[in-house]
Amino acid sequence: MDMIQNSGYLIAAFLFVLGIKKLSSPATARQGNLISALGMLIAVIVTLIHHNIISYQELMIGLGIGTVIGVISARLIAMTAMPEMVALLNGCGGGSSLLLALAAYIESPFLTLTSAIISIISILIGGVTFTGSIVAWGKLSGTFGGKPLRFIGSQFINIICLIVIVWCGYMFVSDPMANAMMVYGVIAGSLVLGIMSVMSIGGGDMPVVIALLNSYSGIAASGAGFVIGNVLLIVAGLLVGASGLILTNIMCKAMNRSLTNVLFGGFGVIKSSDKDKEQGEVNPISAQDAYLVLEAARSVVIVPGYGMAVAQAQHATHELAEFLEENGCEVKYAIHPVAGRMPGHMNVLLAEASVPYEQLHEMDDINPDLGMVDVCVVIGANDVVNPDAIEDEASPIYGMPIIEVTKARSVFVLKRSMNPGFAGIQNPLFFKENTRMLFGDAKESLHHIVTEFKE
Amino acid sequence: MDGEMIIYILFIVMLATFLGVELISKVPSTLHTPLMSGSNAISGITLLGALSLAGSALNEMSVVLAIISVAMATINVVGGYLVTHRMLDMFKKKEKD
C-alpha cells in the first residue's frame, strides 16, 4: 500500500513541476493549471485510500467545508480584489501548516531534537503567515486603512515577541515532553509578531508583502512536511517558497529598495515638504482636445496604474484602444512591475477587459521605443512614471526604474486631482512642457473621448 | 529522524530549490498574479498531511486541529485552482478577423 501512495506522490510532484513549466507562456498556462490540479487530485486520492486512515467522517466534514468556501470565494471574487483573495489564501496556507505541526506534536510528543526544532520553525512561520496575511487582507480591502501604523511602543512589543519566541522555543526543544506548554508560547508570540510586522507597512508596499507571505506559506508547508516525514510536502512547499522569493526580489528591484527597507521603514513616513520648489505651470486639456490629438496619433502607449483599478476604468480603456486601432493607430500597454497591489495585477485587469496579451509590454521592453511614440496616456499611475527617479538625485525614489513617458511626443495624464501618489512625492511629470493633464474621473474622461470617436 | 535520513532529505531540498528557482524565473510578469494564486493552491499540499493525521489520530485534540487544518488547506487548493483557472481563461490572443 505504501508503494501505491509513494508512486502517487511521485506522479503528483512531476505534474506540479510540469504545470509550473507550462506557466511560462499565456498560451499554455491554462493547461498547466489543469495539470497541476490533476497532480493534487491524485495526491489526495492516494492519501485517502491509505490503510492508516480509519475514519472518514471527520475528513469529509473538513473537505466539505473547505470546498464550499473555496468554490464560493473563487467564483464571487472581483478581479480588482484579487490581491485580497491571494492574501487570504496565503493565510489559510500558513494556518493549515501551523495546525498540522501542532496536531502532529500533540498526537505523538516523542520528538527527536531535529524534529522538535523543525516543528517550532514550522509553527513560527505558519503563525506569522496566518496573522500577517489577515492584516494584509485588511489593509488591501481598506478595512484597516492603508497607512502604515507605527506607535512608540511597537518596537518594544516586537522585541518582547522575539524574546518570548526564542525562549519558549529553546525550552521546548530542550525537552519537548516536559515543556509542552512552551509550544503555545511560541504560537502566541508568532501570531502577535505577524500582526505587528505587517501593520507597520504601507499600502504601496503591499506587492512585496504579499509575495513574501506567499513564500512563507510555502516554506511553512515544507516545514510541516519535515515534521510528518512527507517528501511531497517538502518538495511542493519549496517550489512555492522559491516562487514567492523570486517575486519578492522582482518587486524590490522594481522599487529600487532592499527587503529590509520595505519591512523596517521607508516610504510611508517620508514627508513631501522638500518638494515645494517652483515647478512651473500645469497644462490642463479638455476631452475634446485630447480626442483631436489622439485621432491624429499613429502610435499610442497606455500606462495603467492602481488608479485605473480604483476607477474601474479597464473596460473604458480597452474601448478607447479599439477605436484607436480602428483608426489605424498602433496601441500598446506599458506595465510597470509594481503597478497595482500585487505582481501582475494590471495584466489580469486588462485581460478581464479582453485586452489581448500580445499588447501588454514589460517596462524594460517598451522603454527604448517610447521616443517614437506620439502619445503616452497615463491612467491612474503616478510614482511609476515620476521622472524624478532619473533626474533628481535628492528624490527618495531616485534610482527606481520607471516607464519613461516623457520621451514620447506628448503625454496625457488622467488624474482626479493634483494629489501626490502613494509615496507622497510631487511628480514633476505634471509640469513638463509636453504633458497635458486631463482632470476628472478616469472612467468618465475615457468615455468622453470615446464618445467623440463615435461621432 | 537519523543522520542518514536528514542528508537524504537535504538532498531533495537542494534539488527542489534549484528546480523551483529555474522554473519560476521563466514565468513572464504578465502571469505573475495567476502564478501566485496557482502556487497558493500547491501550498495547500499540507492537505495530505492533515488528511492522514485527521483520519488516524487517536488523541481527540489532534483530530480536531487536523480537521480545521484540512478545511483551511482545502480552501487553499479548491479556491486557488479555481480562481487561477478563472483568470487564465481571460488571457486571450488577439482575434483574427
Which residue range forms the structural domain that includes residue B61?
3-90
Nearest CA in chain B to A43: B48
Determine, for residues B73 and A66 on separate chains, whether the beta-carbon distance falls below 8 Å.
Answer: yes
A392 carries an active-site annotation: no
Question: Is the confidence at residue A37, as pLDDT, over 60?
Answer: yes
Determine, for residues A71 and B47 on separate chains, whether the beta-carbon distance falls below 8 Å.
Answer: no
Residue B96 within any structural domain of the chain: no
Q: Are A77 and B75 in contact (CB under 8 A)?
A: no
Residue B43 within any structural domain of the chain: yes
Residue B28 within any structural domain of the chain: yes
CA distance A149 to A126: 23
Strand order in the sheet with A299-304: A360-362, A330-335, A299-304, A375-379, A410-415, A435-439
Distance of CA B19 to the CA centre of its chain: 15
Compute the count of residue pairs across chains A and B with CB atoms less than 8 Å apart.
367
Q: What is the pLDDT of residues B4-49, one digit of tens each?
A: 888 888 898 999 999 999 999 999 989 999 999 999 999 999 999 9
> What is the average pLDDT value for chain A, to the nearest integer?
87
Question: Is the confidence at residue A271, as pLDDT, over 60?
Answer: no
Residue B95 within any structural domain of the chain: no
Tell me whether 0.85 is exceeded by the ipTM: yes
Q: What is the pLDDT of residue A279?
A: 64
Determine, for residues B45 and A221 on separate chains, whether the beta-carbon distance falls below 8 Å.
Answer: yes
Name the residue type at position A8: G
The verdict on B36 touching A (C-beta cutoff 8 Å) is yes
Residue B78 within any structural domain of the chain: yes
- Helix ranges restricted to H, A49-181: 57-76, 82-107, 113-141, 154-174
Q: Are A418 and A375 in contact (CB under 8 A)?
A: no
CB-CB neighbours of A281 under 10 Å: 8
* Chain B neighbors of A86, CB-CB under 8 A: 33, 36-37, 40
Interface of B with A in 37-76 (CB under 8 A): 37-59, 61-63, 65-76
Residue with cell 479599439: A322
pTM over 0.80: yes
Q: What is the pLDDT of residues A147-189, one digit of tens each?
A: 676 677 777 888 899 999 999 999 998 888 888 889 999 999 9
Sequence-distant (6+) residues with CB within 8 A of A435 are A283, A406, A410, A411, A412, A413, A429
Question: Is the confidence at residue A270, as pLDDT, over 60?
Answer: no
> What percent of chain B has a predicted confidence (pLDDT) above 70?
96
Residue B83 within any structural domain of the chain: yes
Q: What is the pLDDT of residue A258?
A: 83
Q: What is the pLDDT of residue A419?
A: 66
Q: Per the structure, how many domains does chain B have?
A: 1
Q: What is the pLDDT of residue B15?
A: 92
